[in-house]
């Protein structure tokens, strides 16, 4: 075939779509560095490029640019996402650690409060045992035989003071407390300390310091700030 | 069918294509020097066109993204064989993109008629030298668009099948259930019309 015979085949040849005798002919012409066929070859590439470049354009996703750059080693693929993810994870960990610390601090505070309460209870029990172990301590009970009684005992030690152990105490109204009174013979009641009952209606109260051995002891319900003199009926009383 | 390939805002698109192709010499020099900013510029210049072409051919966005990546990676890796003084970067990039898509279509269709080695040989950078500047001019592109409109439906179909589906003439004949000789006539007559319009523009 002549160069002109092959003229119509160069576009297909450059697209890789020619086979058989025509392809072999073009290979031979190009192999001889035939100037006419070289020009036909370049023209065909130009025609192909113009045709291919007229494709209706669509917008590629933005991530594709990052991906392409990453594939040639220019940018790290998804680096921004990794950094954002790492920052989010760090924030979550920091928040979790902060929450854990707050929980631990609260538990520690509660444990310290419980320990202080336990130590205070232990001290009061030691005081109570000390009262009870003294030979000069005298005991007077109250409430015996009453139908709805607060019941219990006053222990009086002239040198150490008074120990009160009571049960069946009525529930206190809000803002009120029990107040113990020491009433000398022929005298007026003197405040002897505020106390509250436990959940089961029990209470233990200690008045420390020397006490006249011939006194009457009483308990009333007073404002929780205490009163200089009884303001309500006596809840229970006992005399020594 | 082929009319879909022609964008509505044709003048703007053709102008963009023509300007891209014209300024590629400096870009090719920087790519050969492994300039990272040149690679970004190459993608910004041709990424949309390459993606559009591949999407047009494979009609699958995930596969198209893979093939775009392969296209630019191949261009980057073969830049040293590209003649920065005489080479035509745009046509080469488009050819590499088309060949990646054809390779994909053939692998999914189990078609191996032209062979991968043949495509690889035909897209070698050395083939894309000594393009005339006016070969890719705006006027030629405009004339090509006019020439498309003059083609018969069968001529448009065979051009579509050749450029965007990579079918040989024998495969086109099977697909269209027409004699091979008839298909060859359609192909040659269609390409002749297009070529003559472009040649005429180049010699004006």
Tell me, what CATH number does B10's domain have?
1.10.1740.10
Q: Which of the four pLDDT bands, split at 50, 70 and 90, describes residue A5? A: confident
- Both B113 and B144 in one domain: the answer is no
Residue of A nearest to B131 (CA): A42
pLDDT tens per residue, range A60-92: 999 999 999 998 888 765 555 666 777 788 888
pLDDT of A134 over the 80 cut: yes
For residue B13, the model assigns a pLDDT of 47
- Both B125 and B162 in one domain: the answer is no
Residue of B nearest to A51 (CA): B144
For residue A219, the model assigns a pLDDT of 94
pTM over 0.80: no
- Both B164 and B71 in one domain: the answer is no
- Both B47 and B76 in one domain: the answer is yes
Which chain A residues are within 8 Å of B119, Cβ to Cβ? 16
- Both B22 and B89 in one domain: the answer is yes
CA-CA distance, B98 to B92, in Å (whole number)? 10
Listed residue (B189, B178, B135, B95) closest to A14, CA to CA: B95
- Both B96 and B53 in one domain: the answer is yes
For residue A85, the model assigns a pLDDT of 77
- Both B28 and B91 in one domain: the answer is yes
CA-CA distance, B72 to B47, in Å (whole number)? 9
- Both B144 and B87 in one domain: the answer is no
Which chain B residues are within 8 Å of A19, Cβ to Cβ? 113-114, 168, 170
Higher pLDDT: B129 or A135? It is: A135
For residue A46, the model assigns a pLDDT of 80
The domain spans of chain A are: 7-52, 74-124, 138-239
pLDDT of A22 over the 90 cut: no
For residue A27, the model assigns a pLDDT of 87
Which chain B residues are within 8 Å of A9, Cβ to Cβ? 188
- Both B41 and B86 in one domain: the answer is yes
ipTM over 0.85: no
- Both B146 and B110 in one domain: the answer is no
Q: CATH for A138-239, among 2.60.120, 2.60.40, 1.10.3470, 2.170.270?
A: 2.60.40
Q: Read off the tokens for B74.
A: 């191949």
- Both B118 and B173 in one domain: the answer is no
Residue after which a domain boundary falls, among B83, B99, B131: B131
- Both B11 and B61 in one domain: the answer is yes
Residue after which a domain boundary falls, among B131, B162, B183: B131
Low-confidence ranges of chain B (pLDDT < 70): 1-23, 109-121, 127-141, 199-204
Range of the domain at B187: 137-203
Best to test chain A binding among B39, B133, B165, B197 (most A CBs inside 10 Å): B39
Q: Which of A16, A50, A64 sits opposite B65 (nearest CB)?
A: A64
For residue B9, the model assigns a pLDDT of 40
Distances (CA, A) of B157 to A7, A16, A132, A195, B147: 21, 18, 116, 104, 14
Burial class (CB in 10 A: 0-12, 13-18, 19+), B112: exposed
pLDDT tens per residue, range B16-71: 455 555 567 888 889 999 999 999 999 999 999 999 999 999 999 999 999 999 99
Q: Do B159 and A60 touch (CB under 8 A)?
A: no
Q: In what order do the strands lie in the sheet with A203-208?
A: A138-142, A151-157, A161-167, A203-208
Which chain A residues are within 8 Å of B118, Cβ to Cβ? 16
Listed residue (A218, A214, A68) closest to A142, CA to CA: A218
Higher pLDDT: A53 or A191? It is: A191
Q: How many domains does chain B have?
A: 2
Which chain B residues are within 8 Å of A22, Cβ to Cβ? none
What is the average per-residue pLDDT within A51-56? 83
Q: Do B136 and A8 touch (CB under 8 A)?
A: no
Query: What CATH number should be reported for the domain holding residue B144?
Result: 1.10.10.10
Residue of B nearest to A41 (CA): B127
Q: Do A161 and A192 meet the contact criterion of CB atoms below 8 Å apart?
A: no
For residue B1, the model assigns a pLDDT of 45
What is the average per-residue pLDDT within A217-231? 92
Mean pLDDT of chain A: 86
Q: Angle, nearest 10°, between helix axes B180-203 and B138-150?
A: 150
CA-CA distance, A206 to B51, in Å (whole number)? 92
């Amino acid at each position: 075939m002549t160069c002109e015979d092959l003229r119509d085949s160069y576009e297909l040849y450059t697209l890789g779509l020619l086979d058989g005798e025509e392809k072999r002919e073009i290979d031979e012409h190009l192999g001889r560095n035939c100037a006419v066929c070289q020009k036909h070859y370049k023209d065909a590439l130009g025609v192909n490029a113009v045709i291919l470049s007229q494709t209706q354009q669509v917008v590629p996703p933005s991530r594709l640019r990052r991906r392409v750059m990453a594939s040639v080693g220019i940018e790290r693929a998804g680096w921004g996402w990794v950094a954002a993810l790492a920052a989010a994870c760090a924030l979550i960990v920091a928040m979790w650690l902060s929450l854990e610390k707050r929980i631990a601090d609260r538990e520690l505070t509660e444990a310290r409060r419980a320990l202080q309460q336990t130590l205070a209870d232990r001290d009061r029990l030691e005081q109570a045992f000390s009262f009870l172990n003294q030979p000069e301590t005298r005991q007077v009970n109250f409430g015996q035989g009453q139908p709805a009684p607060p019941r219990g005992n006053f222990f009086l030690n002239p040198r150490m003071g008074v120990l009160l152990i009571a049960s069946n105490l009525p529930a206190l109204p809000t803002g009120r407390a029990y107040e113990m009174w020491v009433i000398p013979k022929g005298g007026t009641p003197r405040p002897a300390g505020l106390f509250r009952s436990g959940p089961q209606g029990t209470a233990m109260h200690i008045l420390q310091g020397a006490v006249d051995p011939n006194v009457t002891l009483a308990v009333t319900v007073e404002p929780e700030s205490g009163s200089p003199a009884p303001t309500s009926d006596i809840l229970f009383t006992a005399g020594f | 069918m082929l009319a879909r390939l022609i964008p509505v805002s044709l003048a703007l698109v053709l102008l963009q294509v023509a300007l891209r192709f014209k300024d590629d010499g400096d870009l090719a020099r920087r790519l050969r020097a492994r300039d990272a900013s040149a690679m970004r510029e190459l993608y910004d210049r041709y990424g949309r066109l390459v993606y559009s072409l591949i999407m047009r051919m494979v009609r699958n966005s995930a596969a198209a993204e893979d093939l775009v990546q392969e296209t630019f990676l191949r261009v980057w890796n073969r830049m040293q064989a590209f003649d920065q003084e005489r080479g035509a970067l745009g046509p080469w990039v488009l050819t590499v993109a088309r060949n990646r898509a054809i390779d994909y279509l053939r692998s999914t269709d189990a078609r191996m008629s032209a062979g991968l080695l043949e495509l690889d040989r035909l897209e070698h950078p050395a083939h894309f030298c000594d393009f005339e500047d006016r070969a890719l001019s705006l006027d030629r592109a405009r004339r090509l668009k006019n020439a498309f409109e003059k083609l018969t439906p069968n001529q448009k179909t065979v051009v579509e099948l050749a450029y965007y589906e990579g079918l040989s003439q024998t495969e086109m004949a099977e697909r269209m259930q027409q004699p091979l000789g008839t298909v060859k006539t359609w192909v040659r007559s269609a390409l002749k019309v297009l070529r003559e319009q472009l040649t005429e523009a180049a010699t004006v």
